[in-house]
Amino acid sequence: MKPSVILYKSLPDDLQRRLEAHFSVTKVPNLDADTVQKNADAFKNAVGLLGSSEKVDAALLDNMPALRATSTISVGYDNFDVDALNDRRVLLMHTPTALTETVADTLMALILSSARRVVEVAERVKAGEWTKGIGPDWFGTDVHHKTIGIVGMGRIGLALAQRAHFGFGMPVLYNARRQHKEADERFNARHCDLDTLLQEADFVCSILPLTDETRHLFGAAEFAKMKSSAIFINAGRGQVVDENALIAALKAGEIHAAGLDVFEQEPLPMSSELLTLPNVVALPHIGSATHETRYNMAATAVDNLIDALNGKIEKNCVNPQVK
Active site residues: 237, 266, 285
With respect to ligand O=CC(=O)O, which residue has the nearer C-beta, 4 or 316?
A: 316
The CB density around residue 87, as the number of other CB atoms within 10 Å, is 12
Write down the least CB distance from residue 42 to ligand O=CC(=O)O, Å: 26
Q: Cα separation of 241 and 11, whole Å? A: 32
- The single-letter DSSP state of residue 231 is E
What is the footprint of ligand O=CC(=O)O within residues 82-121 (CB under 6 A)? Answer: 99
With respect to ligand O=CC(=O)O, which residue has the nearer C-beta, 48 or 76?
A: 76
What is the footprint of ligand NDP within residues 154-213 (CB under 6 A)? Answer: 154-157, 175-178, 207-211, 213
Give the total of residues touching ligand O=CC(=O)O (CB under 6 A): 6
Determine if residue 194 is left, alpha or beta; phi over 0 gives left, psi from -120 to 50 gives alpha, anything else beta: alpha
Q: Cα separation of 292 and 94, whole Å? A: 17
Q: Cα separation of 52 and 49, whole Å? A: 10
Write each residue from 118 to 157 as x if it is in contact with ligand NDP (CB under 6 A), else as -, in one continuous string: ----------------------------------xxxxxx
287 touches ligand NDP by CB under 6 A: yes
75 touches ligand O=CC(=O)O by CB under 6 A: yes
* SS3 state of residue 203: strand
Partner in contact with 239, chosen from ligand NDP, ligand O=CC(=O)O, none, beta carbon below 5 to 8 Å by kind? none
- The single-letter DSSP state of residue 317 is B
Amino acid at 40: A
Partner in contact with 96, chosen from ligand NDP, ligand O=CC(=O)O, none, beta carbon below 5 to 8 Å by kind? ligand NDP
Of 5, 13, 8, nearest to 51 (Cα)?
8
- The single-letter DSSP state of residue 135 is -
Q: Cα separation of 54 and 291, whole Å? A: 21
Partner in contact with 51, chosen from ligand NDP, ligand O=CC(=O)O, none, beta carbon below 5 to 8 Å by kind? none
Site for ligand O=CC(=O)O, rule CB under 6 A: 74-76, 99, 287-288
